[in-house]
Structure 1
């Protein structure tokens, strides 16, 4: 396609051969900058926040708190660290943020699936527009300067936006690293525990809602997420609002809309989100643990059947699961495109895990391991294909924060570019 970097979807390394996968990822790392520079716009929503990041190995006040609400909170964190569990939880402790601010050091960073994905794409050199109503100084200080926001009837760089309004509550991220002591515990897995002291809800950015239907005909992909942070009483209304918007994107010609799931404490709201998404999104993604919650007791080898059932029920073209060591998609589209998308997601996530922030990959991170995938590539009934890749896995990353969102951004970079190319081919034939 004139003016757009050539996409190569012919990487088929030998099954689980580490050297072949390392070479394939190295090749993709060399091509990724050109792909990003010519990539179409990605529309990123629908929640946003500032993350207060706390390293548990450097938070002794938590482990010395053994009574009252602080003690109960510390016990919850300790139990998750002991079991190697991350995920997201809502905690009923109104004084929790004030107690943490007084006792535990924190670093601040941009949060939310959509903003995290936009941060990654912007870092790679691709355009990303983020749904953001919070224009407080606290939030704007965390935005990468090149990230796009909607202002009136146009897009502007974050660096040109003037602060206004009150800041929203922070989301707390408690990180722990394999082999690094947390009190008297030594974790054997690196992860993070996301804590909400309330339901922050979704961003209501009227400019984003009004502008994006006009941008959708030339954009590459849309991303929506964050419904687990919506209160029960507001969920149905927010589902209607957001999915009316994504219906409009698809009707305007956007090639695809991806719904990234998050951890729900109860199955009821999660299932309401999925049912409301029927016909309003083309792709759904989730972590390995979230898939296990959705299909309890399903062995990894049988995941394709459960994923295909979900895809057919929701009329999707793609269902994706990302784990520590691998990524797997069931797709109705070109498996070669999907393989490159999964690899791009794994590559940028691995680079971030090493650097501790979104970065442009310069190759496979030193010390990364490639472990076997639980499912082989295969053609399945109903026009579906399973595609799996091992990720460049680091046992002791600098961070696990945002890796799933980073993976999603890498996938959408490839899928959006391929979708625009296909859309232009269809136009030329017409």
Structure 2
């Protein structure tokens, strides 16, 4: 059996365990996963459509639209995605009437919650921006605090005016974008303003009541704050996380995402100390912090030691890895579940109810051992099913995080003492 067949067989075995059964679904309805803290409406733009990019390249030289075209094409040429803060407050209004797009749910917590909903689990999210466009995108299975209960979006009355979209420019390896052929599939997230975190008192009150029984929590979204406000927003978010941890919530994960500066990253991490148990990021985000972290092992252990964490995980195109103080078997399954959820979404273009390895996927050799004991840490890694021409690259990191937390949350439920 070659490496591809071996990994495919291991993923097939894991896939049979992922969908949530009726008994577990009932348990999660009472005490769901807690996922926050940002949300947005994404405007998805397919850059292989010539009409889409022509809107920007045809704009006058020196205009904001023409500058955005240069930024996008430079990234497409390098096969680089990530997030960009582009200073053009009127951008969404200008683009909305000119560029074809598809609306989608955005934000790390809501995206991860949507993945769990497709798998039959339930996650609750904070929602301050209760607008008609936002509520229309939140799928069944994702809960919102309203009237002292967890309810679906269809039961929530809209109460705010619509807010500006975040634009997602997607491109596929080999498909030209305004004459530029990308070497790699990815997406560029363009934020024209800083939306900030969701401050939802109803969610915070109900989360406090179930924190001891919730399977796991996810916090993210400080990258949606202006750099000058990361500290204040971080103190709020990690104050909530610290109260959940004090109540007995075993797994509280902080997903890093892309920030406007490394100073903002450092501030967010410092505020996370003692409030979260787990940290995750893409390999590119880790390399931005530590350019010597091509092999992420030492950098992950250093972060874990510095921040007092139980686990640190990193995901890349062809692999995922973690250092953990917990059960390495559980961690291996968590990483593989994350990779499988992300790969299935890449193949289908959306979260799926029964993730499986796509026949077109390939597995690359791991650039480091699959497992190693290093001091008090255990290093665990797995190969990820990789598609050269995915249907989407949007939300893959969020899907990975959802898969990991599903496995870690299940493990916490099984080992918890009866309430």
- Aligned partner of 1:184 in structure 2 is 179
**Which consecutive unaligned segments of at least 5 residues does structure 1 have?**
1-13
What's the counterpart of residue 44 of structure 2? 53
**Alpha-carbon separation, structure 1, partners of 2:150 and 2:73:** 44
* 1:357-405 Cα shifts (integer Å, max 9, x gaps): 1112352112110111222133333321111011111110000000000
Task: Indicate yes or no: 2:25 matched with 1:32.
Answer: no
CA spacing shift, 1:34–1:203, aligned 2, 3 Å: closer
Determine if contact 2:290/2:299 at 8 Å carries over to the other structure: yes
Q: Where in structure 2 are the equivalents of 1:228-243 lying within 5 Å?
A: 228-243=223-238
> Which of 311, 317, 321 pairs up with 2:314?
321
Runs of 4+ in 1 over 6 A off after TM superposition: none
Structure 1 match to 2:199: 204
RMSD after superposition: 1.6
Residues 10-42 of structure 1 deviation map (CA, whole Å, 9 limit, x = unaligned)? xxxx9x821111011111112211469626421
Question: 3-state DSSP class of the match of 1:255?
Answer: coil
1:366 is the counterpart of 2:397: no
Number of aligned residue pairs: 410
Instruction: Give unmatched runs, 5+ long, in structure 2.
Output: none
Asked if 1:357 corresponds to 2:343, the answer is no
* Superposition pairs of residues 119-138 of structure 1, within 5 angstroms: 119-138=114-133
* Aligned twin of 2:56: 62
Cα 1:35/1:384, change in 2 over 3 Å? farther
CA shift in 2, pair 1:317/1:362, >3 Å? closer
Residues 75-107 of structure 1, C-alpha deviation per residue, up to 9 Å, x if partnerless? 110000001110001111122212211321111
Please give the secondary structure, in 1, of the residue aligned with 2:137. coil
Kindly report which structure 2 residues correspond to 1:393-408, keeping only aligned pairs within 5 A, or say none: 393-408=386-401
Identify the residue that residue 8 of structure 1 maps to in structure 2: none
Task: Give, in whole Å, the separation in 2 of the partners of 1:388 and 1:364.
Answer: 18
1:309/1:35 Cα in 2 relative to 1: closer, same or farther (>3 Å)?
A: farther
1:88 alignment partner, SS class? strand
Q: TM-score by structure 1 length? A: 0.92
- C-alpha change, 1:34 and 1:123, in structure 2 (3 Å) is closer
In the alignment, is the contact (CA less than 8 A) between 1:351 and 1:360 conserved in 2? Answer: no
- C-alpha distance in 2 between matches for 1:199 and 1:337: 37
Give the corresponding residue for 2:303.
Answer: 310
Matched, 1:20 2:6: yes
Q: Which residue of 2 aligns with 1:3?
A: none
Q: Is the 8 A contact 2:219 2:255 kept in 1?
A: yes
